[in-house]
Structure 1
Amino acid sequence: MSVISDKTSLAKNTLFSLTFIGILFIASNLRAPITAVGPVLHEIAASFNLSGVCTGLLNALPLLIFALASPFAPVLTRRTGIEKALLAALALITVGCLARPFFGVMGLWTGTFLIGLGIAIANVLVVPLIKRDLPDHAARCVGLYAATMAMTAALSSGIAAPLSGLSSATWRVSMGIWVIPAALALMVWMKVCARADGQSGSPAQSTVQGTGSVWKSGVAWHVSMFMALHTMVFYTLIDWYPSMADEHGVSSSAAGLHLFIYQAVAVVANLSTGVFIARLKDQRLLGLICSLTITLGVAGLLMMPDFSVLWLVLAGIGAGMSMVTCLTLFGLRTREHSQAGRLSGKAQCIGYLIGALGPCLAGILHGHTGTWSSTLMFMLLISFFQAYFAWQAGRNRFV
């Protein structure tokens, strides 16, 4: 009996280790195929004679898909299980990465749609999977997951333009290369699914369902708005900081370096927050600190733009802390993994829907006022609201 028990325990530990490795492979594909587009967007537009409206839509389409598809990911999970739903998500990303550079304008739009849909599904389901299979190390796993997303996102945006210049294929190289990590993740996750199917008593067989409705829960709305407001500020800075910097005489290359620092600091904050967040009695103070750090960074950009690198470091710390805190709250504010999936679906729907408005509103404000100060004041106001929702979401309660 002892030998059988030891073998069962070893099999479970092997599955959990493989699952963790698979999660990191998934994370490497959840931002990079999207952030690689921006630096070569003008080349893509020139290749297909895209209008300004179409170019803007191509850039915004993934975020819109994240928002609209996220609530339906838990429905897919109930039909197939988390592992197979994530396998389907990786298959969509892989096919999308293959179609986008090699099948003309139809492939560009179809590939972008498939990538966005696959990422939307995986965005929602990874945290519930961690809550179910790795509960004793959930916060650290979420921190590593978020850091991997951020690192590959920064890498893809950094190498897109240089890769484009390597051959006559230009932007197709920058886009096509991401089929490699997608295919690798797909192969690893196929192995996870095979082992999960073959192991009796696997957590994947659990059918326990939470009873609280996330759409009627005040806790769920607080978590969702916390995510939405920090997402709005993050994407607004990513999209418009180079233009803000240009207003103060900063070159485009220097602005690009500043944005890299902003994202790199966020990676460090991802990792450090994941280490200690689970040790806290609740997350109110943490939510307040990360929100006010963003506030201080934005205020600095508004009042003392000459020290923009310092303010971006502060804003990056706040952004990284906010992301890990939000993702961890999906698990901490729910009693079991299926309910965590529904909270994740709602929060990411609201988060990306509102978050996508940030860059649009920033552009409108700048167009009306002719200065970026109005945009920064708007972001400052949003960060104050974020602090309120972060404090409420951090209270130790359940959906």
Structure 2
Amino acid sequence: MIPWPPPRRTGAKSLQCGVHVFRVIMASMSPSSLVRPTLLIAGIMLIASNLRAPVTGVAPVLDMLRADLGLSAAAAGMLTTLPLLAFAAVSPLAAIVARRTGLERALLGALLALLAGLCLRSAGSTWALFAGTIAIGSGIAFGNVLLPSLVKRDFPQRIATLTSSYALVMGIASGAASFVAVPLANWQAGPGWPLALFAPALLVVLSLAVWLPSCRAGRRPVPLSADSAAPRQAIWKSWLAWQITLFLGINSLIYYSVAGWLPSMLHDAGYSATETGSIHGLLQLASAVAGLLLIPLMRRMRDQRALACGVAMFSVLGLSGLLLAPQWATLWTLSYGFGSGASIILGLAFVSLRARDALQAAALSGMAQALGYLLAAGGPTAIGALHDSTGGWTAALAACIVCACAQIGFGLGAGRNRHVG
């Protein structure tokens, strides 16, 4: 605090004191110090908007894409599986890159990879479709891993609020991508799916424009806890870390299986292409709405075991409804979407809440994302194989219900108010 009135000084000492006081006042009123948190939060939300939409926007136009390129069912299924494999392969590298370049620059690289992948995927050829999908998965993997670490570093007192908020934005953007995919594909004569697959690039460009000032501000140091000297490999020996990983991984396994095959399930149940696209969009929006309800709840709950159990039960209810009464698919899709979206929010919050510092959060996030998405990568293929072998969706949905019940058990462990290690 600057004393006032200032002590009496004469000559050069008085001038130096005046210059010092002026610098302190101007620094406290610096526009960058006032604007940076706002830009940072806006950047977090915009980056989050790109973490699901480029993947979920494929399913509504998958039949058009297959017809135009002559893809088999197995090859089409790889368009859902490849991003998950990229998530699993690239996620462990994100924390290493962030430690060397800084979180801001690592996330900038993720956005550039995502933009390049979207441009390549919509080029119109089969090889570009798959190569672009891999690039998209790599960019999303970095964002998935590093956003929880960024929130832990810069907003440690607002983890629940910001995690819920960016998950809400993620769900809204992915829902919009599903809603507009079919209209965009039908907007022009000839194959219109490239336009539908390129549409998320607009969000990436906007994200780059907002995120660049954070990169120009330079690399910020990461505050460490007293336990940071412990080797990061100890996370892999922590049962709590494994519970968080399996809670997120099982939820992702079910989500990407359902998101990838829901249009086909609905089509077999008698729904039109337009109806399946709309209900698929509702799945994304329902997952976004979960954030609005979880924000006030997570602020008041230090122990989230009951919350983890409750949201997983919504998933069980929705999946059971799709199995037993598909004529009410809209209701069951909303129930499942809410439960799955809430589980994603809780899982991402667990990464920040159970870690002791930002670097441990990045390491835990890398573990959870790598193993979780490796587990999820087999989901769409396994569900498709069950459908082909049984001739229906009963066995596939029953397997998803069993997995959702297992998720409840891991949520009871991950929700405890403890730290990893």
Q: Measure how far apart 1:133 and its partner are.
A: 0.5
Distance in 2, matches of 1:224 and 1:108, equals 30
Q: Measure how far apart 1:46 and its partner are.
A: 4.4
Query: Relative to structure 2, which stretch is displaced further, 83-92 or 48-57?
Result: 48-57
Amino acid at match of 1:7: A
Q: Cα RMSD (Å) of the superposition?
A: 2.3
Q: Measure how far apart 1:52 and its partner are.
A: 4.0
Query: Relative to structure 2, which stretch is displaced further, 5-14 or 75-84?
Result: 5-14
Which runs of structure 2 are paired with 1:4-23 in the superposition (5 Å)?
A: 4=24, 7-8=27-28, 11-23=32-44
Q: 1:230 aligns with which of 238, 251, 257?
A: 251
Q: 1:318 aligns with which of 339, 348, 352?
A: 339
The answer to whether the 8 Å contact 2:81/2:378 transfers is no
Q: Measure how far apart 1:126 and its partner are.
A: 0.5
Distance in 2, matches of 1:14 and 1:79, equals 26
Matched, 1:182 2:204: yes
Distance in 1, matches of 2:254 and 2:199, equals 30
Q: Measure how far apart 1:249 and its partner are.
A: 3.4
Distance in 2, matches of 1:49 and 1:102, equals 16
What is aligned with 2:5? none
Q: Deviations over 1:131-169 (max 9, x none)?
A: 110122221111111111111111112112211222246
Distance in 1, matches of 2:268 and 2:59, equals 20
Q: Measure how far apart 1:44 and its partner are.
A: 3.6
Matched, 1:167 2:166: no
Distance in 2, matches of 1:105 and 1:371, equals 29
Q: 2:153 aligns with which of 126, 129, 132?
A: 132
User: What fraction of aligned residue pairs are identical, expressed as a percent?
Assistant: 36
Distance in 2, matches of 1:282 and 1:293, equals 19
TM-score for both structures, normalised by structure 2 = 0.87
Q: How many residues align?
A: 394
TM-score for both structures, normalised by structure 1 = 0.91
What is aligned with 1:63? 84
Q: Deviations over 1:145-203 (max 9, x none)?
A: 11111111111121122112222462222223332221221122111111245xxxx4x
SS in structure 1 opposite 2:157?
Answer: helix
Q: 2:290 aligns with which of 269, 275, 284?
A: 269
What is aligned with 1:120? 141
What is aligned with 2:95? 74
Q: Measure how far apart 1:106 and its partner are.
A: 4.2
Q: Measure how far apart 1:305 and its partner are.
A: 3.3
Distance in 1, matches of 2:313 and 2:86, equals 30
Which runs of structure 2 are paired with 1:41-52 in the superposition (5 Å)?
A: 41-52=62-73
SS in structure 2 opposite 1:112?
Answer: helix
Computing the radius of gyration over CA atoms, which structure comes out larger, 1 or 2?
2
Q: 2:368 aligns with which of 344, 347, 351?
A: 347
The answer to whether the 8 Å contact 2:178/2:280 transfers is no
What is aligned with 1:242? 263
Distance in 2, matches of 1:325 and 1:71, equals 21
What is aligned with 1:37? 58
Distance in 2, matches of 1:299 and 1:171, equals 33
Q: 2:359 aligns with which of 308, 315, 338?
A: 338
Query: Which ranges in structure 2 are unaligned for 5 or more consecutive residues?
Result: 3-20
SS in structure 1 opposite 2:236?
Answer: coil
Q: 2:408 aligns with which of 381, 384, 387?
A: 387
Matched, 1:257 2:308: no
Amino acid at match of 2:211: W
Q: 2:176 aligns with which of 155, 158, 163?
A: 155
Query: Relative to structure 2, which stretch is displaced further, 251-260 or 264-273?
Result: 251-260
Query: Relative to structure 2, which stretch is displaced further, 85-94 or 36-45?
Result: 36-45
Q: Deviations over 1:330-356 (max 9, x none)?
A: 011110011001111111112111122
Amino acid at match of 1:398: H
Q: Deviations over 1:96-153 (max 9, x none)?
A: 2222223744433332222111111111000110111012222111111111111111
Q: Measure how far apart 1:6 and its partner are.
A: 7.3
Q: 2:129 aligns with which of 108, 125, 139?
A: 108
The answer to whether the 8 Å contact 1:71/1:345 transfers is yes
